[in-house]
A and B are shown apart, each in its own frame.
Chain A
């Protein structure tokens, strides 16, 4: 069965600190996709990144970076020099690729609440 685990329920940091949000996934498929979504206090879900299982290159986007390691089934998210505006719930999600019947269903982790203190 597919599963996404975000073991960190809440993290609190002080502004300008670096913080890493952990995501561990389980799947039997060899082809799959991983996502991160941000949910700020306003409640909407904001897409951050998608990574497919064949691309293990790390990605950097401004202060955000993602480390994908198939060997440990992890897709961790790092915010460098955190800011108060980064305060949100962050969700990691998994979607399996099922060609000929792909559904794009997302399996979400339980989320990590990040609080950045000024």
Chain B
């Protein structure tokens, strides 16, 4: 009963490098989300996905790319990492498509440092 997992849990990378954060859920939830958490901002939505091959931008999508070829996976790629992307990244999923109000289940987070 793994639920929702993220890898790696910690990552240090250099400015300009590409880095991919992985998110995997075992519940077959339709919706998946990526948030970043920064002091003073709470959590902000980067991208979300309603189903495989359906993705859309959130509040802060610039510099990020997502894909969702399989329902259970939702990787987040920083194409050319910048120091401003140093943050804690959370993946989340929710079970019921098309209905708001159901809580999101969050992964443990990935702490990314860009030097």
Q: A residues touching B (Cβ–Cβ < 8 Å)?
A: 4, 6, 31-33, 35, 37, 43-45, 47, 50, 52, 91, 93, 95-111
- The size of the chain B interface, using a CB distance under 8 A, is 28
* B62 touches A (CB below 8 Å): no
**Overall SS of chain B's interface:** strand
Of B44, B45, B104, chain A has the most CB atoms within 10 Å of the CB of: B104
Q: Across the two chains, which residue of chain A brings its CB closest to B93?
A: A104
**Overall SS of chain A's interface:** loop
Q: B residues touching A (Cβ–Cβ < 8 Å)?
A: 31, 33, 35, 40-45, 48, 50, 56, 58, 88, 90, 92, 94, 98-106, 108-109
Question: Given A109-B42, A111-B42, 4 other A-B contacts at CB below 8 A?
Answer: A32-B100, A44-B109, A95-B101, A99-B99
